[in-house]
Structure 1
């Protein structure tokens, strides 16, 4: 599954970025909060807050550092970072190791809930950063700076 995510992220950099493409992943992921309806998944609020904040401050940082946009042909594209794939693999390995440690102290459903919160914190902060960067580029007028091709007058 992790390889599929990496492949999809790499393919996405070939298409222009839009606000919708920035906002849909965290909004779709937010439906995962429905898991907390099940009592077996619930964790103490302090644990949930810590997991979210670890994702927000620690795990989002490498993604933010490796995300850059560029303007081409009047569209905004995510610039491919050579380190992006490495960062995703390192995050996967760290998450797997943490999962093994945490599983000794909490149940599997609770562990899943904590890692969901960690991932949600990471994705939300990363996407907020992307949205701010996107809007900065939009506001700068860089999208409209493409040379205008002269039009020939209509001939009768």
Structure 2
């Protein structure tokens, strides 16, 4: 069996991440034409949670506190720009995500910061452990952002109680 060198893994990871960022931008722009619902909000973190299976592989495992720190950085730092650039509007009784240039800029800046951090962190841990750390960071970021979206959606989608 042929083994890939770490430099090839880095190239594949970088290209893969860039493609995912571009795909996210494309999907987000397309999704703004359709109403939002609870399923569309919660499915990304649910689907992403299957990534925790990577920790079954011993080479990918990281110390607990590294994972907690990476998750916290995603939760508190990286999710904030996504939350600030996400706005909803009600049109004909349906909730839509507003198109936002700032969202695209935020995604591209987060991608650039991720690439810089990736290069730095990879000097100290293996490529697989770096992937695990960035998965934890991304999961924390996505989870908080989607919880914010869910809360905002609930406020807009539920009819206001009538006063009698």
TM-score using structure 2 length: 0.84
Question: What are the ranges of 5 or more consecutive residues in structure 2 without an aligned counterpart?
Answer: 1-18
Within-5 A mapping of 1:113-132:
113-132=132-151
Judge conservation of contact 2:94–2:157 (CA < 8 Å) in 1: no
CA distance in 1, matches of 2:85, 2:23: 19
Q: Secondary structure at the match of 1:83?
A: helix
Mapping for residues 1-156 of structure 1, pairs under 5 Å: 1=19, 2-141=21-160
Q: CA deviation at 1:140?
A: 4.2
- For residues 116 and 9 of structure 1, the distance between their equivalents in structure 2, rounded to whole angstroms, comes to 21
Q: Please report the RMSD computed on the Cα atoms of aligned residues, expressed in angstroms.
A: 1.2
Secondary structure, counterpart of 1:80 in structure 2: coil
**TM-score of the two chains, using structure 1 as the length reference:** 0.88
**Cα deviation code 1:99-126 (max 9, x no counterpart):** 0000000000000000000000000000
The count of corresponding residues between Structure 1 and Structure 2 is 142
CA distance in 2, matches of 1:116, 1:56: 12
Runs of 4+ in structure 1 over 3 Å off: none
Structure label with greater radius of gyration: 1
Unaligned runs of 5+ in 1: 142-156
Q: Secondary structure at the match of 1:36?
A: helix
